[in-house]
A and B are shown apart, each in its own frame.
Chain A
């Protein structure tokens, strides 16, 4: 047996907790490009400002061996705290936010609104010949909505990529220091905190 044996590829959603420091995203992206792995979607944002932690959600495809390699390679980066394979670890939620601008007039405009209503998309901007819809949901729901809109006019789409979290009460990647520091801050007189910053 060997690593190149052909086995079906599958899509995995990885959650990665990293130090929020310059270059960390470049490190993760460089790893994927340097080793020839796929990135279908990547989102990142700070989740714990006090502990300087960011959470990266990566959607990638590969054989089980490649996925295991990706996780091991990510885990080996010095600023990476933990890597969770949400796809393997159990049921999880995936959501994406999209902003869709559609330009059209007449009947198509009304149809667009009707479909938006069905998808629970909100119109958050409007002119006489355009709407901007805001929609959250699974990536496939958003794709379906975008396809329908494209039949009704010229469109522009901005999507965030997937964010994901495991279902259930377990906190696999807890964020606590924000809270701790907030609590400490609350106890401290304001002047002292300001002083410390200087």
Chain B
């Protein structure tokens, strides 16, 4: 922002150059780690990093990876993730990461270098219109043209990124501003004059919601990523309310971990590759309580047939999520933790009890759906089934302190289905944007935040190649990230769609000319392992877990396995394909074909 919003009445704490102001502001905001990559426009900041030692800088190998690493860091800690990149190509390389963070509501502050103010607009060397390019893929962005506004802009950026519905914020920094002497103002708690998201839910709406819940005969809770963003307290309260009401709960891909996966009341993930019981319970429920989910098209299937007979309550901190895809009966704007706390209070105050009789019937119905065992798969005695690989990985890491990231594709869905999460912040995946290449850098960020934990990227071989350069970062910082490559030698998810929707014409979806991942690991200074048969799998997993360096475990799995259950694009929840034999029954409709 060029012009000061209000004239400064505060006294500056000190005078220093712009680069030092930035570091001081980040430090005062509690930022400990910055993921970045240097270049001409940000050299003054790197000079300060060199001199000050106040902030730990992690040198990535590609700016996209810097943002994903910051996302992994943020999602696994609940703190803001911080990124520093240079002007021009540095900024444009960060765009995919920023879009990813926007779609999944991850708090990121990304500092981008810019050419000096007097050259802006001149097509100067490494100039890009960064605020223009990033406007639609950030929650907000700034161009700082006045060093007196610099400190407050950084404070404001952190505030905007972390409050309300979190998201990425870009601060574009012309080089002359980094050199200019200016005042440093400490954070004063008055972060933004007008941006003040509503966090407490409307009391009367909450009473009505609890009332609905108490009277429901077939209730269901549908929790999303908002539960994770609202902090671990929100997940605790969510579990408390779910247990009080004895209702079943499902979670979205982004919400996994918000409710313990092993609990009887958990029906598994819902949506395109969700469980039979979760999707049918959503279809048949009479009261739906959505907390922090956004009725994404991957979840709803065909909108016209989405849970047609239910009264829907939608709790969200972002008013624009309300009635965007699905019209709800009772919207509640607020932070998930606050609203859940309010709901529990009302439930207790009114002396409500779980509605035993109808619930018993509802659960009996759900158990019938459960008996279909939609996640069962036929084991093979020699070839490793991908589902089996993930199941074993889960079972062999259960007593460990484990964090999981994924790439994008079938392996991601299998990970969501077969890996259980008992608490929030343990599961990092690119849900909204579906960014191949997310998992390895995200795992890097998680490992930086949790140096002693087991951090595993469940990867597909094609996705893995998209940010494989980050192995060099793992080597430099001795980050013992484990890459569990579910290697089917196909862009499996693409192949599956081509099989189901395009007559088995496998156009360009074979993972051609794959590298030898063992040699790749060794070339970068890590350890490479391979499992080719079922009996090798456990040994490889154990060896991977016990190695204190980074490991690439190349798990050669059945090549043409498909991911089920599946609701074809444009179909409804009751039109699930449960396995390969269902395929013939339901062709994807013409309307569905055009959907992504």
Contact of B319 among A22, A65, A76, A77 (CB under 8 A): A76
CB pair B131–A23 under 8 Å, yes or no, is yes
Q: What is the CA–CA distance of A52 and B1 in the complex, to the nearest angstrom?
A: 11
> Which of B21-29, B135-143, B267-275, B561-569 participates in binding chain A?
B135-143
In the complex, what residues of A have CB within 8 A of residue B325's CB?
2-3
Query: What residue of chain A has the Cβ atom nearest to residue B5's Cβ?
Result: A52
CB of A116 within 8 Å of the partner chain: no
List of B residues within 8 angstroms of A4 by Cβ? 303
| Chain B: CB-nearest residue to A2 | B303
Q: Given contacts A65-B323, A68-B323, A76-B318, is CB(A27)–CB(B135) below 8 Å?
A: yes
For residues 8 through 57 of chain A, which have their beta carbon under 8 Å from a beta carbon of chain B?
Answer: 19-23, 26-27, 30, 34, 51-52
How many Å from the CB of A23 to the closest CB on chain B?
6
Q: How far is the CA of A73 from the CA of B318 in the complex (A)?
A: 9
A22 in complex: contacting residue of B2, B195, B324, CB < 8 Å: B2
Question: Does B53 have its Cβ within 8 Å of any Cβ on chain A?
Answer: no
CA distance A197 to B192 in the complex (A): 23
B327 touches A1 (CB 8 A): yes
Q: If A22-B143, A65-B327 touch, does A73 touch B135 (CB 8 Å cutoff)?
A: no
Whether B320 contacts A78 by the Cβ 8 Å rule is no
Cβ of B3 within 8 Å of any chain A Cβ, yes or no, is: yes
Query: Could you tell me how many residues of chain A have their Cβ less than 8 Å away from some Cβ of chain B?
Result: 29
Contact check, B136 vs A30: say whether CB atoms are below 8 A apart. Answer: yes
Within 8 A of A (CB), among B306-361: 306, 318-320, 322-327
Question: Closest chain B residue to A4 by CB distance?
Answer: B303
Tell me whether A52 and B326 are in contact in the complex, defined as CB-CB below 8 angstroms, given that A22-B143, A72-B319 are known contacts. no
Q: How far is the CA of A52 from the CA of B140 in the complex (A)?
A: 18
Assembly CA distance A184 to B325 (angstroms): 50
Judge whether A72 and B322 touch: CB under 8 Å.
yes
Chain A residue with minimal CB distance to B304? A2
Chain A min CB distance to B570 (Å): 13
Task: Tell yes or no: A80 within 8 A of B by CB.
Answer: yes
Contact assessment for A2 and B131 in the assembled complex, using a CB-CB cutoff below 8 Å: no
Closest to A31 in B: B136
- Judge whether A69 is part of the interface by a CB distance below 8 angstroms: yes
**Selected contact of B135 from candidates A1, A26, A51, CB within 8 Å:** A26
From 73 to 110 in chain A, residues with beta carbon under 8 angstroms from any chain B beta carbon are: 73, 75-81
In addition to A22-B1, A65-B327, 18 A-B residue pairs with Cβ atoms within 8 Å of each other are A2-B326, A3-B326, A19-B1, A19-B194, A20-B3, A21-B2, A23-B143, A27-B135, A34-B136, A52-B3, A52-B5, A69-B324, A72-B319, A73-B320, A76-B318, A76-B319, A77-B140, A78-B192
11 contacts between A and B (CB under 8 A): A19-B5, A22-B143, A23-B131, A23-B141, A30-B136, A69-B320, A69-B324, A73-B320, A75-B320, A76-B165, A79-B140
Q: Residues of B with Cβ closer than 8 Å to A?
A: 1-3, 5-7, 131-132, 135-136, 139-141, 143, 160, 165, 192, 194-195, 303-304, 306, 318-320, 322-327
